[in-house]
Chain A
Amino acid sequence: MEPLLAMQGIIKRYPGVLALSGVDFTLQAGEVNCLVGENGAGKSTLIKVLSGAIVRDAGSIRIEGNEAHLDSPADAQRLGIGVIYQDFKLVPALTVAENILLGTEPVVGRSPFIDRKGMDEKASAALGLLGEEIDTRSPVGHLSVAKQQMVEIAKALSRNVRILAMDEPTAPLTEWETANLFKVIRSLKDRGVGIIYISHRLEEIFEVGDRVTVLRDGAFVHACGINEIDRRGLIRKMVGRELENEYPRAVLARGTEILRIENLSSDRVSNVNLTLYRGEVLGLAGLVGAGRSELARLVFGADRRTGGRIFLDGKEIAPESPHEAIREGIGLLTEDRNRYGLIMQMSIRENISLSSLRAMLTGPFIDRRKEETAARQLSDDLRIKAPDTGVIVENLSGGNRQKVVLARWLNTKARVLIFDEPTAGIDVGVKYEIYTLINRLAREGIGVIVISSDLPELLGICHRVAVMCEGELTGIVEGTEATQETVMTYAHKNRR
């Protein structure tokens, strides 16, 4: 039988970069084919070719054996191809329902008027498939990243797709939401939908995948059934070398107190008390919406406090803005790099130096050489994949963008660094290096807090894990007793 989808010899070239150099990819009906590879390997590019978002330079695409005319997103939609992009394509000002049904709005009878009620019903139905309850009339821009992701998935589901590509759908989700998504994926499979699944979380690949396809540097490397390969083998195929260990465990050398927060409150956070010591990596766990990012933003002066005090090295500080927090020596790597992190039209270099320009000055002028040296150093350390540091960030792959924001904060010489989802979308090889880097920062006496929805990651690199639930701190687990179970118990403490 003909495969549902057969892509052959796909080539896509960007100025100075060969993003895809003749990639083959096949997908059967009712199967999940996982696409894996390092950052910048070409995964998203392959998906964009399939969705008609970009036009390939060469190669053929067949659907059930027939040559597919695929030159625009409209073509893809007609052919039943749905895509959930790594960087969402939702319209922030439109409501949830309007986004889900964008371009397919139901009308009242044969009139030109939109059927509002029908829209809400259809949108709720699509969200219902995901077990999600979201107000269909609230603007998408007001939702958290996780909720937006759900809306994006619902949007694809509402269009009766035969082929569904998901580009790192779980990056902003926690276990619970991920489990939900997997249920949906399985029911789609049963209905004969073919699914392309991209993720840097390998455990997910082994959980939902039927087959796996590996890309490296824009080239096809390997494809096999998921049972024919193990985690180690897969990593080897991806990075082209052996990776000893996934989490470097730093020895705890807990020093003096560096940051203490007392009764910190806002409308999303209530009465949080927490102390951070030098030399330790403190994790912040919890479900989406637990208030972890909100807590971080309070300490960073990005949101308004309603109460509580913050002490840095024993001295009380009251940052009213990120500017003041940075001046005091606090840095925050925010979640959602595209919305809150990067200036897309700026180069890698300019994005890296943005928070530390003061140190790049010679007189009143920015010293290009100092700036370039720092940026080059960091982009080598983090292996940012680009021809040079003058490349604008918009042209980078998702993981490489994340490395740029990370580099910015490493460049600030902060005393306390809070990382909100630092490894979102980053490949296994580089993850290891980021963990090593975080350990090094802690060893050098910088206070480090890591927020992550990837629990194994938190347990792997943190000495203590503080758990939040619904805006409150519900527990702190110390090194050895930190297991998934204890953390999850605290994470659900206020829930039922």
Chain B
Amino acid sequence: MTSDRITRKLSGEFGIGIAFILEFALFAFASPYFFTPDNLLNVSLQASITAIIAAGMTFVILTGGIDLSVGSLVAFAGIVATSLLKTGLPPAAGFAVAIVTGLAIGALSGAFAGFCITRFNIAPFIVTLATMTIWRGAAFVWTDGRPVWELPEGFAFLGTGRILAVPVPTIIMILTFIASHVMLTRTRFGRYVYAVGGNIEAARLAGIRTGRVLINVYILSGALAALSGILLASRMNSGQPNAGVAYELDVIAAVVVGGTSLSGGAGSIVGTFIGAMLIAVLRNGLNLLNVNSYVQQVIVGVVILLAVMLDQIRRKRK
């Protein structure tokens, strides 16, 4: 019985976990540089931006929704935050205002999308397709198409700094994933997210305020996209209106490879983490092996497909 329960618990992330370990072993074998602390930390840094967004996206997809606006929010939140850094406030206050405002923009965008989805019953795909276009446009309008340069010193630390050799974005990513995992598995909100994704009408009749749950997942997704946008701006030491283009696709890929079902109700944060890492390690490994970047795209695409196929087969057999 207990072994039964353990398989049940593991089965969600089992297949992808194995795939990840295999991939890891393969690259470690093929490239001597791959399995060095330097390189691994580098991979985590590279993965961090999309992985943080993927954590939020997991909540959205679990409810059966989708958030296409994250890539544009990365740019817009980055622009707003970097612009605010140049208002001449004392550094500490300036940083705080910039970051808080950046995050608030992400959250508000999510709240707006969630409101449209629940209040007017518009499909999430459509609503976030619209906000995606709006924020991308807004980023260009705000800056007139030019990057925001000459940021105060110290801001770059967020994106490029290290604490005990670990990149700051990596640390933020890990904290985000721990918090998201706890929220999803241990709180009422997390439980409601699964319930809404599993059967929204049954959830409503069980007394769950489904509209509120939906709005909250988009707020979370928006805020985490904005957080990534700020980290990216810091890493590039500038606000770029064309930052984060097509990130939504990488993010969705990570979530789906991690075993979360696009129809909602099933999946996990742990899966998303492994999914994001699997893709990042793949890119890194192929780089180390000097695989041409066009070929890389083909391989990444094939691996995404294989991972999802394996997952489907596993589900069928259960």
Contact = CB atoms under 8 A, between A and B. Distances in A.
Contacts of B186: 365-366
A361 B5 contact: no
Contacts of B204: 302, 321-322
Interface string B110-121: 000000000000
Interface in B184-216: 186-188, 191, 194-195, 198-199, 201-209
A186 to B, nearest CB: 37
Contacts of B205: 300, 302, 322, 332, 334, 340-341
A401 B204 CA distance: 18
A327 B209 CA distance: 12
A172 B57 CA distance: 40
A366 B198 contact: no
Interface in A345-399: 345-346, 350, 354-355, 357-358, 361, 364-366, 387-388, 390
A354 B206 contact: yes
A354 B191 contact: yes
Interface in B239-298: 265-266
A16 interface: yes
B207 A355 contact: yes
B133 to A, nearest CB: 29
B209 A358 contact: no
A342 interface: yes
A16 B204 CA distance: 32
B1 A350 contact: no
A355 B191 CA distance: 11
Nearest to A392: B8
B5 A343 contact: no
A366 B187 contact: yes
B169 to A, nearest CB: 27
A323 interface: yes
A322 B191 CA distance: 18
Contacts of A387: 1, 4
Contacts of A345: 194, 198, 265-266
A350 B318 CA distance: 20
B206 A390 contact: no
Nearest to B265: A345
B271 to A, nearest CB: 14
B207 A326 contact: yes
Contacts of B195: 343, 346, 354
A287 B204 CA distance: 27
Given A365-B187, A366-B187, A388 B1 contact: yes
B207 A323 contact: yes
Interface residues of B, number: 26
A183 B235 CA distance: 77
Contact of B194 (A302, A339, A342, A346): A346
Contacts of A162: none
A390 B8 contact: yes
B203 A343 contact: yes
Contacts of B194: 343, 345-346, 350
A345 B12 CA distance: 12
Candidate in A300, A323, A332, A350 with the most chain B CB atoms within 10 angstroms: A323
A343 B4 contact: no
A345 to B, nearest CB: 5
A354 B206 CA distance: 7
A155 interface: no
B5 A390 contact: yes
A390 B202 CA distance: 20
A15 interface: yes
A350 B184 CA distance: 13
A339 B201 contact: yes
Interface in A5-35: 15-16
A340 B187 contact: no
B146 to A, nearest CB: 45
A344 interface: yes
A16 B1 contact: yes
A334 B207 CA distance: 12
B209 A323 contact: yes
Interface in B1-58: 1, 4-5, 7-8
A278 interface: no
A341 B201 CA distance: 8
Nearest to B264: A345
A181 B198 CA distance: 34
A387 B203 CA distance: 25
A341 B265 CA distance: 15
Contacts of B198: 343-346
A357 B202 contact: no
A408 B206 CA distance: 9
B191 to A, nearest CB: 6
Contacts of A322: 204-207
B153 to A, nearest CB: 39
Contacts of B208: 323, 354
B191 A321 contact: no
Given A339-B199, A346-B195, A354-B207, 12 more contacts: A302-B205, A323-B207, A326-B207, A334-B205, A341-B205, A342-B202, A343-B195, A343-B199, A344-B199, A344-B265, A346-B194, A346-B198
18 contacts: A16-B1, A302-B205, A321-B204, A322-B206, A323-B207, A323-B208, A326-B207, A339-B202, A341-B205, A342-B199, A343-B265, A345-B266, A350-B191, A354-B207, A361-B188, A366-B188, A390-B5, A408-B206
Interface of B: 1, 4-5, 7-8, 182, 186-188, 191, 194-195, 198-199, 201-209, 265-266, 318
Considering the complex of A and B, which 5 residue pairs feature the smallest CB-CB distances, nearest first? A343-B198, A326-B207, A365-B186, A354-B206, A357-B188
